[in-house]
Structures are given as structure tokens and as C-alpha cells.
Structure 1
Amino acid sequence: MKAFIFDLNGTMVNDMPYHAKAWTRIANQELGGNFTDTEIKNNMYGKNAEVLVRLFGGDRFTSEEMDKLSEDKEEQYRSEYIGELALLPGLAEFLEHAYQAGIPMAIGSAAIPSNIDFVLDNLNIRHYFKAIVSAHDVTHSKPDPESFTKPAQLLGVKPEDCIVFEDVPKGAEAAKNAGMKAVILTTTHPREDFAKLDNILHFAVDFNDDYFVGLI
């Protein structure tokens, strides 16, 4: 393979419980919803406005209200997660080895730019990535392939020459739609949730898995 493309949340950092906690507080305590943890988890993908529409319908909020709710949610997430911010075990070494081997790497994430900056700059890993594609850089969210085809274009590599690292079925589906194979980190979903997808190369709990040595 000629390039690696990483999802961010749940793939590089195990922060999805903090996103879920922030969404639950916003949806249930502030907006009067009554969503279960499973309902929050299953709807917590794509752009924040899309999450709000899936939970509350398309007529509940104006675009300005959704922008404000989105900002509030991300501020809550960052303030609670900052003390726990860390790469998944083994990822620091994997990134360095890939970098030294000259493998181009990119991020293709549904996160907003400020959240990507929050992770990359606090962990000092921005230099590893030649391209960064955020929620603001695509028209359609995962499972649309744009979040992965755009990084591939920016890296100058063909989709079939990329491996995507993901943690959720919609992301793995986006990789499939882009013509890319995927490696799944099981931080957020068990492997059985990916049973319908035939582009999965491997499942791992973190990057200490011996499988990653063979990718470089």
C-alpha cells in the first residue's frame, strides 16, 4: 500500500465516550430528549447538524441554533477530555515508523477543524500528515466516500493504494465506497457490527497488534 488514511475520533484517540457524554447532556438535559445510550451511540456519526436532525427531526432547529449547539457540544467534549487526551497504545510508534518509511499519511475525519487541531497540536503529531480533511472540507459525510477520496487526491495516490483506519461501520462503509480496504480499531464497535462489509483487512484493539508491523 502507498498511503494510510486515518479517521480521528475513536481511531487515533479513544475519545468517543466523551463525545457520547457531551451529546447525551445536550440532547437530554438541555433539549429535553429522552435518548438511551444506544440511541446516542448509533446516531453519533457525521456532521453535528446531521446528528441533531437524526435525533430531533429536520424542523426543530434553525441552522444558527444548530451551529450554537454544535459549538457548545464540542466545548464540553474538549474541556472534559483534555486531561485524558492520548493516542491509542502503539500508535505513536506506528506513525513514526510509517513516517520514516516514507509512507504518506492523511486524516479523513467528520470532526470539525478545531477538534482536529485539539488532538494534533496537543499531541504534537501534525507533522506526520500531508493532508487533513475535516467535516468542513466535504459536502457529504460518511458513508459517502468523499472523506477518503479527497485525502487520496491530496496525497496523489489511487484509492486502491490506500488503507483506511476506522472504528465505526459508517466509516468502513465509506472506505468501501471509496474503493479502499480498511483496518478496524474496536474501540467503539465490536467486530460483528461490521459483518456486512467485505473490505475489512483486520480488527485490532489498538496499534500494538503485531499486524501493524507488517503494514510498513
Structure 2
Amino acid sequence: MLHTAKAFLFDLNGTMIDDMHYHKQVWYDILTKDLGANLSWEEVASHMYGKNVELLIRIFGPDHFTPQQMDEMSVAKEKRYQELYKPHLKGLPGLETFLEEAKQKGIKMGIGSAAILFNIDFAIDGLAIRHYFDSIVGAENVKDSKPDPETYLKGAAELGCAPADCIVFEDAPKGVEAALNAGMKAVVLTTMHTADEFSQYPNIITYAKDYTTLLPLLG
């Protein structure tokens, strides 16, 4: 099923590493304790998609902070996240074996994430998996975040593959929607969302809790 693809494009957070709880904890502390937003844990979680700057604008409006302030807060947030998550950093079960199998089959691979490159570097270098990826597209590399298809279309272009020949690995509905908008099929990792939350998307190939269950699909 997966072996017919020419390229795999991976989201990062929640897709290759199960770290979204740590992001939520840091955002909750910053938004409610540091910045005084009256938000519940669930409300903070509902805003966690797209770029950090976009999140701040959704909650506080476009003119509450200057662009420089938002950039500084974004970096500060990620430093706090990395400090919290670093002792627990690990790939989802079967990830590295899956990447190695895909590489051996000649499947090109890239990362397409709303994370800033500072965070992408933290994860892939911490896991020592950078050598598997010939394209890395982060927040700084695109104008529009998911569900806009720009992230995945840029990754496909950098890998020299047509969108229809790419399969996206995602954990979030907005990411699957981005894949759909890019004309790509998607595999959903159910680290953060249940399958019923994706029922409106016709481009999903399969669901998996980790990569051990996906290995047989490589053929």
C-alpha cells in the first residue's frame, strides 16, 4: 500500500515524536500565567495548530503584540518546551526502522511542519535521523500554515515528486486537510486524535498508533 509512493512527507510533533502534551503544558503556562489569558486547558489545546505567531494572534488579536514581541515569545516558548521535553525525547515505536526500510526502497522523504526550524533541528538531531530527509520545510519557509497546502507542496517540489506520488504522515485534522488540499493521500498517527475526528477527509489511507503497525504496509 505504502510502497507505491515515490515520497513520504512527515509532520513532526505528534507524528514522529509524541510530544504534544509538553507543548500544551508550556503554552498553557505562558498564555494563562504569564500573559493572563482566561483559557481552560481544553481551550488552549484547541488553538494549537499553525505557527506560534498565528496562535498568539488568534487569542489576543493582530495588534496586541508587535511582530518582534511575538517572534521573541515564540522562541522563548520553544526553549521552555525543549527543556521540559528533552529528558523524554524519543521517536514513536518503529520510527527509525520504518525510515530505514523506506530509504532502502528508494522512497524520498521530507519533513513538513508548522514548527520553527529551531524545534525541528532539536528533534531530528536529538534522534539522529536527519540523514533520512532530503527536504525540511518549517514555519519560516512558508507564508501560509496548514491547512493551506503550501508546506506539503513545497516539500514535494524539493523532492522532485508530483503531489499525487506523495503520502503525508500526520496526527492532526488540519494537517490531513493540508494534504488533501495538496492532492496527497495521508496516513494518520492517532497520538492526539481519534479516527472519528478525521471522518470528513476522503484522502486517508489508514490509521496507526505508531510505525510498528505500518511496517508491513511498506511491502
Q: TM-score, normalised by structure 2?
A: 0.96
Alignment pair present for 1:19 and 2:23: yes
The one-letter code sitting in structure 1 at the alignment partner of 2:83 is S
Following TM superposition, the consecutive aligned residue runs of length 4 or more in structure 1 with deviations greater than 6 angstroms are none
**Partner Cα separation in structure 1 for residue 75 and residue 155 of structure 2:** 25
Is the deviation greater in 157-166 or in 62-71? 62-71
The CA distance in 2 between the partners of 1:180 and 1:212, in whole Å, is 20
How many angstroms apart in 1 are the aligned matches of 2:25 and 2:152?
Answer: 27
Note if 1:87 corresponds to 2:96: no
Give the match for residue 101 of structure 1: 105
Which residue pairs with 1:41 in the alignment?
Answer: 45
**Aligned to 2:22, what secondary structure does the other structure show?**
helix
Amino acid in the other structure paired with 2:200:
K
Which amino acid counterpart does residue 217 of structure 2 have in structure 1? G
Question: What letter corresponds to residue 20 of structure 1 in structure 2?
Answer: K
Q: Is 2:117 the counterpart of 1:123? A: no
Deviations 1:101-136 (A, max 9, x none): 111000001110110100111111000001111110
- Structure 2: unaligned runs, 5 residues or longer: none
Distance in 1, Cα, partners of 2:120 & 2:51? 14
Q: Which residue of structure 1 lines up, in the alignment, with residue 215 of structure 2?
A: 212
Separation in 2 of the partners of 1:168 and 1:37? 18
- Structure 1 segments unaligned to the other structure (5+ residues): none
Letter in 2 for 1:212: L
Higher mean alpha-carbon deviation, 31-40 vs 45-54, is at 31-40
Which of 167, 170, 177 is the equivalent residue of 2:171?
167
CA distance in 2, matches of 1:22, 1:195: 30
Partner SS, residue 99 of structure 1: helix
**SS of the counterpart of 1:198?**
coil
Structure 1 counterpart of 2:116? 112
Q: d(CA) in 1 for partners of 2:119 and 2:131? A: 17
- The amino acid that maps onto 1:176 is L
Question: Deviation at 1:213?
Answer: 2.0
Give 3-state SS (helix, strand or coil) of 1:163's partner. Answer: strand
Aligned CA-pair RMSD: 0.9
Structure 1 residue 33 displacement after superposition: 1.0
Question: Which deviates more from structure 2 when the two are superposed, residues 119-128 or residues 172-181?
Answer: 119-128
Looking at structure 2, the residues matched to 202 and 35 of structure 1 have their Cα atoms a distance apart, in angstroms, of 34
Output the CA distance in 2 between the equivalents of 1:140 and 1:212. 32
CA distance in 2, matches of 1:133, 1:63: 21
SS of 1:45's equivalent in the other structure is coil
1:28 aligns with 2:52: no
- 2:154 aligned partner: 150
